[in-house]
């Protein structure tokens, strides 16, 4: 009997906790389905649920465009990171030489430089290059990612030497070995890195804020700021926009939870 | 022989193409800094201009709020590219714009194009005149007003005055406040959000300059003077009213302030005349709005104009500059000014517009549009009401607003303002040193 | 795992001469080196250089100015305030986030019916971008209509102004930041918990230990390295939290949430003082560097631990 009571209490407890954690999101969801008049109505559920705020949000603001921008930028950066990290990581792992050792030490050093410190001079440089308001500015600086290089290097280092020796004997060069042997084996690591990079890029705020001016290039995160200051009091519309912007990462997370989890764990615990 | 014909043909073709291009429209980039309903009006203006002639196309872009626009422009100037031909910069950015050396003075363009700038109303013209030269076009000029909820006035049996000194205002606010049995306020007398502009205007209206050297007009401002008796009295009143539940606690939030008024939760709303159209629309049929002049301490001097002006930046071809100026000229056309005035609340900067039939009929429909104009007409014209001209104004405003908030939290007004003055003077000195560099 | 090369390679062996190692290495390394140099190393060096300069209007005419910027940073009291605000902020975020995440991780560490659902719910905040979290909370904390005050009211407590009050703005932002990071920390702590060998628990159960004893004698000691690491990580991240501040308070009210990174942004983009902001960036960099080195040292030790 005790056991059942304990079970029930456990379920109640954990459900309460989970509900509490999700509560702020729920309230945002709730207000996003209310018409202008109902916004200030104090109730859990919207009294007359309507899709009006979503309609208005989509009509008034190019939300899909913002999402598209975020998606484009995040995808480009993710692809770039995967490519560069694999190439560089492989070279650092399997080609022994003082040069690669030096570069690896450099990479480790760069792991310590957080983006927020360099955003100002980077912004000035981008400005001078005339890249303000370009996809180039949003993507190129992030393609060489120290964490990505580090992770792939560690992974490739962990592969058995015999694999490569056999290929060597067959006359394969490094590029061949990378493409035919190392990469196929790296799929889980690459998947995790992709998830980590995509999420990280999607979430970037400060740098895209200062580097883009026009509405066309605005990414979803910054767009929220503009929408919320434009529609300051119409919380329902702002909430609707926020929900729309939340959906992609939420859905991606629900489907690829494994990859996300692995990516985050790998990226932060470095092993 | 063939080759020669080919070359000739090409030359003719390219000449034709060239002349076609020149006969085509010049594009002029224009950054504006007002969103919402006023932004819509700007877009409308641009559209009308573009379709009214076939020489120039204005490419208008909303570049964010005033601060953001100034930042972007500054960044573009620093990079040497990407800046617009015409840009809307707020009043307090004037010193910086002139110091930057990156602008084409409007007066110079006007001389070149034989445009008579004496047609402009004197206060806006004076505001944007630095060292004897008018630099920018006062585009959206405003001044602050008191907005009243007429129903509240009636229900509390309070007479509306055309203008108020501080003591009278405080008394009116208290009488308009409605509290319930438990002492909780159900309707505030006033909603007055913290904004340095209000302190500036209160000072000017009370005869106090905001910065030295006669508001920076006789010589470059080197020191702030906002810690004057008018500002102190003003902040002390705000502290009393907020603590006593007579003033709504809206902090710095202008939108919350408007909302409080629109919802009938405050009887008086303080804002620029620029919000007249928007506020009237938001209030709708809930209650009639009435407006009065902005208050002063004891004796009324006059308010300075607020809002923004249009600047022309250097670095464009003569055709482009001419195109930009023709847009500005069109903006100053009485018909355009009249429509702009009635669709926003900003007052016309060209003399005589108020007498046109369009504006007269607009005024008869909504008397409130006249208030700002009357306030301007009856303001004394001196360096105090010319408004302060100084650098680093944006930063200094943040110190003043912080002081306001600190006073609301209990700090003595004189102390808060004195401390803000120290920070502001340091910032101003830094700016002046930078300009000298 | 063996992989057989396509036979064409075997045939080609005789036909083409393999590229020398150094050339391949070059091809593989050059892109990254160029990009890192251009977009990471160069800006970092530039930040340092700028911090020792002063500029004219519009950033022109930069001249060497020695330690002027740094002297200014340390002599202006508001910078001290910002430093304190950043630390205070991080000191709230880190423990709160860890406690919440650890509780969540523990709850889902044992398999039970429906654990996958709860795991998803607990990890969910990783999928919530900063902006969305800020919007959700701003509504939740609306003084007039938000549920936060409604909950307080139903408990008989006074409603709070939350983000609008100088004394509560910063802690509130900290709570929001902690909340947004719970998923992230929970993932890391779950990974850490999973690494604790099951046999230890088995063995102790045989020895008659109950849940609480197991927790204190097995779980806590073995999870401590990970706990410490994650706490440090969260602390570091919270020192550069920006998005939510920009969206919700812009450093206010009355500069009460003007953390260091936000002040840098303000000085650079509103007060137009890039060299001064560069000096502030350099100081931030040094602080983060020291903390990160600490973190690194710890990973190294942890690795050796195993």
- Scanning B74-133 for CB atoms below 8 A from A yields 75-76, 78-79, 81-82
Which pair of structure tokens corresponds to residue A178?
A: 């990378």
**Interface contact flag, B249 C271, Cβ < 8 Å:** no
Confidence (pLDDT) at C204: 83
**Interface contact flag, B437 C161, Cβ < 8 Å:** no
Q: Is the pLDDT of residue C305 over 50?
A: no
- From the CB of residue B145, how many other CB atoms can be counted at a distance below 10 Å? 24
Q: Is the ipTM of this complex over 0.90?
A: no
Confidence (pLDDT) at C205: 81
> Average pLDDT of chain B?
88
Nearest CA to CA, how far is B315 from chain A (Å)? Answer: 16
- The rounded Cα B414 to chain-centroid distance in angstroms is 28
**Interface contact flag, B72 A213, Cβ < 8 Å:** yes
Stretch A13-24: mean pLDDT: 89
Strands B289-292 and B144-149: antiparallel
Stretch C80-91: mean pLDDT: 95
Confidence (pLDDT) at A74: 93
Confidence (pLDDT) at B75: 81
Strands B103-104 and B129-130: unpaired
For B300-309, what is each residue's pLDDT tens digit? Answer: 999 999 889 9
CB-CB neighbors (< 8 A) of C285 in chain A: 113-114, 117
Stretch C168-173: mean pLDDT: 93
Confidence (pLDDT) at A92: 86
Q: Is the pLDDT of residue C188 over 50?
A: yes
Stretch A244-269: mean pLDDT: 80
Which of the residue ranges A67-71, A245-249, C158-162 would you say has the lowest mean pLDDT? C158-162
Sign (positive or negative) of CA dihedral B351, B354, B355, B356: positive
Stretch C258-280: mean pLDDT: 91
**Interface contact flag, A173 C18, Cβ < 8 Å:** yes
Confidence of residue A271 (pLDDT cuts 50, 70, 90): very low
Which pair of structure tokens corresponds to residue C80?
A: 């001290």
A128 → chain B, closest CA residue = B79
List chains adjacent to chain B, taking adjacency as at least 3 C-beta pairs closer than 8 Å.
Answer: A, C
Residue C89 in contact with residue C172, Cβ under 8 Å? no
> Average pLDDT of chain A?
84
For A140-199, what is each residue's pLDDT tens digit? Answer: 999 988 888 988 888 888 888 888 888 877 777 777 778 888 888 888 888 888 888 888
Q: pTM higher than 0.95 for the full model? A: no
Q: Which of C57, C62, C266 has the highest number of chain B CBs within 10 A, making it the mutation to test binding with B?
A: C57
C268 → chain B, closest CA residue = B71
Q: How far is CA A115 from CA B30, B313, C43, C87, in A?
A: 33, 34, 10, 19
Could you say which of C3, C104, C229 has the minimum Cβ distance to residue A269? Answer: C229
Q: Is A31 on the interface with C (CB under 8 A)?
A: yes
Could you say which of C21, C50, C124 has the minimum Cβ distance to residue A95? Answer: C21
Q: Which of B66, B78, B399 has the highest number of chain C CBs within 10 A, making it the mutation to test binding with C?
A: B78
Query: Which residues touch A127 (CB under 8 Å, ≥6 apart)?
Result: B75, B76, B78, B79
Share of residues in chain C with pLDDT > 70 (%): 91
Confidence (pLDDT) at C2: 42
For C196-251, what is each residue's pLDDT tens digit? Answer: 888 888 888 888 877 778 888 888 888 888 888 888 888 888 998 998 898 888 88
Residue segments in chain B with a per-residue pLDDT below the cut of 50: 19, 22
CB-CB neighbors (< 8 A) of B72 in chain A: 213
Residue B235 in contact with residue B406, Cβ under 8 Å? no
Stretch C110-123: mean pLDDT: 86
**Interface contact flag, C61 B430, Cβ < 8 Å:** no
How many interface pairs between A and B have CB atoms less than 8 angstroms apart? Answer: 29
Strands B185-191 and B266-272: parallel
Q: Is C56 on the interface with B (CB under 8 A)?
A: yes
Could you say which of A132, A215, A230 has the minimum Cβ distance to residue B36? Answer: A230
Nearest CA to CA, how far is C266 from chain B (Å)? Answer: 9
CB-CB neighbors (< 8 A) of C146 in chain B: none
| CA nearest neighbour of C95 among C25, C171, C168, C161 | C171
Residue B184 in contact with residue B177, Cβ under 8 Å? no
Q: Is A203 on the interface with C (CB under 8 A)?
A: yes
Sign (positive or negative) of CA dihedral A230, A232, A236, A241: positive
Could you say which of B78, B395, B398 has the minimum Cβ distance to residue C59? Answer: B78
Confidence of residue C299 (pLDDT cuts 50, 70, 90): low
For A203-215, what is each residue's pLDDT tens digit? Answer: 888 888 888 877 7
Q: Is the pLDDT of residue C14 over 50?
A: no
Q: Is A215 on the interface with B (CB under 8 A)?
A: yes
Q: Is the link from the previous residue into C253 a cis peptide, with omega within 30 of 0?
A: yes
Confidence (pLDDT) at B269: 95
Confidence (pLDDT) at B10: 56
């Amino acid at each position: 009997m005790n056991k059942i009571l304990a079970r029930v209490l456990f379920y109640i407890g954990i459900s309460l906790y989970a509900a509490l954690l999700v509560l702020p999101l729920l309230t945002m969801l709730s207000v996003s389905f209310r018409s202008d008049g109902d916004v200030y109505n104090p109730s859990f559920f919207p009294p007359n649920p309507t899709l009006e705020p979503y309609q208005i949000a989509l009509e008034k603001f190019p939300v899909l465009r913002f999402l598209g921008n975020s998606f484009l930028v995040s995808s480009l950066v993710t692809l770039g990171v995967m490519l560069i990290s694999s190439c560089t990581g492989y070279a650092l792992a399997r080609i022994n030489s003082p040069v690669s050792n030096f570069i690896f030490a450099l990479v480790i050093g760069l792991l310590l430089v957080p983006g927020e410190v360099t955003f100002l001079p980077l912004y000035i440089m981008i400005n001078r290059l005339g890249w303000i308001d370009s996809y180039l500015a949003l993507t190129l600086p992030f393609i060489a990612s120290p964490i990505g290089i580090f992770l792939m290097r560690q992974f490739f280092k962990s592969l058995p030497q015999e694999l490569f020796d056999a290929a060597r004997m067959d006359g394969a060069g490094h590029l061949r070995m990378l493409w035919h042997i190392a990469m196929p084996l790296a799929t889980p690591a690459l998947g995790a890195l992709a998830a980590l990079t995509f999420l990280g890029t999607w979430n970037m705020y400060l740098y895209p804020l200062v580097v883009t001016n026009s509405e066309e290039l605005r990414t979803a995160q910054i767009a929220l700021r503009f929408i919320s200051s434009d529609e300051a009091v119409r919380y329902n519309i702002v909430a609707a926009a926020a929900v729309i912007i939340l959906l992609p990462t939420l859905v991606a997370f629900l489907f690829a939870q494994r990859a996300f989890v692995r990516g985050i764990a790998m990226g932060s615990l470095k092993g | 022989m063939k080759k020669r014909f080919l070359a000739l043909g090409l030359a003719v073709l390219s000449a034709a193409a060239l002349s076609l291009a020149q006969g085509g429209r010049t594009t002029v980039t224009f950054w504006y800094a007002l969103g919402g309903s006023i932004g819509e009006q700007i877009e409308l203006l641009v559209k009308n201009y573009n379709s009214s002639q076939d020489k120039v196309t204005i490419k208008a872009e909303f570049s964010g709020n005033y601060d953001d626009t100034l930042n972007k422009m500054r960044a573009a100037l620093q990079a040497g590219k990407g800046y617009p031909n015409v840009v809307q910069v707020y009043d307090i950015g004037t010193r910086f714009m002139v110091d930057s050396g990156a602008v084409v003075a409007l007066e110079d363009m006007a001389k070149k194009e034989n445009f008579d700038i004496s047609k402009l109303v004197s206060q806006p013209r004076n505001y944007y005149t630095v060292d004897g030269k008018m630099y920018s076009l006062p585009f959206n000029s405003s001044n602050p007003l008191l907005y009243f909820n007429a129903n509240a006035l009636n229900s509390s049996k309070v007479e509306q005055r055309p203008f108020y000194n501080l003591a009278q205002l405080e008394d009116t606010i208290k009488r308009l406040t409605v509290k319930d049995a438990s002492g909780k306020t159900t309707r505030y007398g006033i909603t007055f959000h913290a904004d340095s502009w209000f302190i500036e205007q209160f000072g000017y209206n009370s005869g106090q300059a905001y910065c030295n050297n006669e508001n920076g007009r006789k010589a470059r401002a080197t020191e702030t003077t906002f810690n004057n008796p008018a500002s102190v009295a003003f902040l002390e009143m705000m502290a009393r009213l907020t603590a006593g539940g007579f003033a709504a606690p809206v902090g710095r939030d202008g939108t919350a302030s408007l909302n409080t008024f629109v919802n009938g939760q405050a009887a008086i709303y303080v804002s620029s005349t620029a919000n007249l159209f928007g506020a009237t629309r938001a209030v709708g049929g809930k209650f009639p709005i009435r407006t009065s002049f902005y208050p002063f301490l004891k004796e009324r001097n006059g308010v300075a104009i607020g809002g923004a002006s249009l600047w022309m930046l250097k670095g464009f071809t003569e055709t482009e500059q001419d195109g930009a100026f023709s847009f500005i000229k069109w903006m100053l056309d009485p018909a355009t000014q009249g429509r702009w005035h009635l669709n926003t609340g900003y007052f016309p900067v060209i003399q005589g517009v108020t007498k046109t039939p369009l504006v007269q009929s607009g005024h008869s429909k909504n008397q409130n549009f006249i208030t700002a104009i009357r306030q301007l007409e009856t303001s004394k014209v001196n360096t105090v009401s010319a408004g302060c001209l100084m650098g680093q104004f944006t930063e200094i405003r943040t110190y003043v607003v912080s002081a306001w908030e600190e006073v609301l939290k209990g700090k003595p007004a004189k102390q808060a303002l004195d401390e803000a003055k120290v920070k502001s003077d340091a910032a101003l000195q830094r700016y002046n040193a930078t300009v000298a560099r | 795992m063996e992989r057989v090369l396509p036979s064409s390679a075997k045939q080609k062996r005789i036909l083409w001469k393999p590229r020398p190692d150094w050339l391949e290495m070059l091809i593989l390394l050059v892109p990254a080196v160029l990009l890192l140099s251009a977009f990471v190393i160069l800006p970092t060096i530039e930040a340092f250089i700028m911090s020792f300069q002063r500029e004219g209007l519009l950033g022109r005419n930069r001249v060497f100015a020695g330690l002027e910027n740094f002297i200014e940073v340390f002599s202006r009291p508001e910078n001290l305030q910002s430093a304190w605000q950043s630390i205070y902020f991080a000191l709230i975020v880190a423990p709160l986030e860890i406690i919440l995440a650890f509780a969540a991780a523990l709850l889902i560490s044992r398999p039970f019916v429906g654990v996958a659902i709860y795991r998803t719910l607990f990890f969910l905040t990783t999928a919530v971008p900063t902006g969305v979290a800020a919007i959700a909370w701003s509504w939740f904390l609306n003084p007039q209509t938000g549920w936060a005050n409604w909950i307080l009211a139903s408990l008989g407590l006074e409603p709070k102004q939350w983000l609008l009050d100088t004394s509560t703005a910063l802690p509130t932002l900290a709570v929001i930041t902690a909340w947004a990071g719970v998923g992230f920390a929970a993932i890391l702590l779950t990974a850490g918990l999973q690494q604790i060998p099951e046999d230890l628990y088995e063995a102790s159960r045989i020895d008659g230990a109950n849940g609480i004893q197991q927790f204190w004698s097995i779980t806590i000691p073995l999870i401590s390295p990970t706990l410490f690491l994650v706490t440090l990580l969260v602390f570091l991240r919270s020192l550069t939290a920006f998005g939510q501040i920009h969206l919700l308070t812009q450093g206010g009210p009355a500069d009460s949430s003007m953390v260091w990174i936000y002040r840098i942004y303000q000085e650079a983009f509103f007060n137009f003082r890039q060299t001064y902001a560069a000096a502030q960036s350099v100081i931030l960099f040094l602080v983060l560097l020291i903390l990160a080195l600490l973190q690194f040292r710890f990973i190294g030790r942890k690795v050796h631990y195993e």
